[in-house]
Chains A and B, each alone.
Chain A
Amino acid sequence: MNTATHSKPLLETKGLKKYFKIRKNVNLHAVDGIDLELYPGETLGVVGESGCGKSTLGRTIIKLLEPTGGSILFNGKDITNYSVNQMRPLRREMQIIFQDPYSSIDPRKSVIEIISEYSFIHKMYSSKAQTFSKAVEMMELVGLAKRYANSYPHELDGGRRQRIGIARALSLNPKFIVCDEPVSALDVSVQAQNLNLLMDLQDNFSLAYIFITHDLSVVKHISDIIMVMYLGKCVETAPSDELFINPLHPYTQALLAAIPKPDITMRNKEFQLIEGEVTSPINMKPGCRFASRCPHVMDICSQEDPEFLEAAPGHRVACFLVNDK
Chain B
Amino acid sequence: MNTANILEIKDLKVIYKTDLEVVEAINGLNLTLGKGKTLGLVGETGAGKTTTALSILKLLPSVTGKILNGSILFDGEEILKMDEKKMQAIRGNRISMVFQDPMTSLNPVLTVGDQIAEAIQLHNPEMSKEDVQKKVASSLELVGIPSWRSVEYPHQFSGGMKQRVVIAIALACEPELLIADEPTTALDVTIQAQVLSMIRDLRDRFNTSMIMITHDLGIVAQTCDDVAVMYAGTIIESGTAEDIFLNKDHHPYTVGLFNSIPNLDVKTDRLSPIEGLMPDPTDLPKGCAFSPRCPHAMEICHQKRPPVYTNNTHNIACFLFLPEGKQGNKGGEE
Task: List the interface of chain A (C-beta within 8 A of B).
Answer: 49-50, 157, 159, 187-193, 195-196, 199, 214, 216-218, 220-221, 241, 244, 254-255, 257-264, 266-267, 270-274, 277-278
Contacts and interface: CB of A to CB of B under 8 A. Distances in A.
A199 B273 CA distance: 14
Given A258-B189, A262-B220, A193 B273 contact: yes
B172 to A, nearest CB: 23
24 contacts: A50-B188, A157-B277, A188-B273, A189-B260, A190-B277, A195-B262, A199-B269, A217-B262, A217-B263, A218-B262, A244-B264, A258-B190, A258-B192, A259-B189, A260-B193, A260-B223, A261-B264, A266-B221, A271-B193, A271-B196, A271-B197, A273-B197, A277-B158, A278-B188
Interface string B159-195: 1110000000000000000000000000011111110
A277 B160 contact: yes
Contacts of B223: 260
Interface of B, helix, strand, loop or mixed by DSSP: helix
A159 B277 contact: yes
B259 A192 contact: yes
Interface residues of B, number: 47
Given A260-B221, A261-B222, A264-B241, A188 B257 contact: yes
B323 interface: no
Given A221-B262, A255-B190, A271-B196, A262 B271 contact: no
Contact of A264 (B45, B161, B245, B270): B245
B109 to A, nearest CB: 24
A261 B271 contact: no
Contacts of B189: 49, 214, 216, 255, 258-259
Given A221-B271, A260-B193, 11 more contacts: A49-B190, A50-B188, A190-B44, A190-B277, A191-B260, A192-B272, A195-B262, A199-B269, A214-B189, A260-B196, A264-B242
User: Which residue, of B267, B268, B272, has the highest number of chain A Cβ atoms within 10 A?
Assistant: B267
A84 B216 CA distance: 43
A163 to B, nearest CB: 12
B125 interface: no
A188 B192 contact: no
B91 interface: no
User: Which residue, of A196, A260, A272, A277, has the highest number of chain B Cβ atoms within 10 A?
Assistant: A260
Nearest to A222: B262
A262 B241 CA distance: 10
Interface of B: 44-45, 158-161, 188-194, 196-197, 215-223, 241-242, 245-246, 256-264, 267-275, 277
A216 B264 contact: yes
Given A49-B188, A258-B189, A258-B190, A188 B218 contact: no
A263 B44 CA distance: 20
B219 A260 contact: yes
Contacts of B220: 262
Nearest to B144: A275
Nearest to A52: B188
A273 B257 contact: no
Nearest to B267: A241
Contact of B215 (A188, A193, A255): A188
Contacts of A214: 188-189
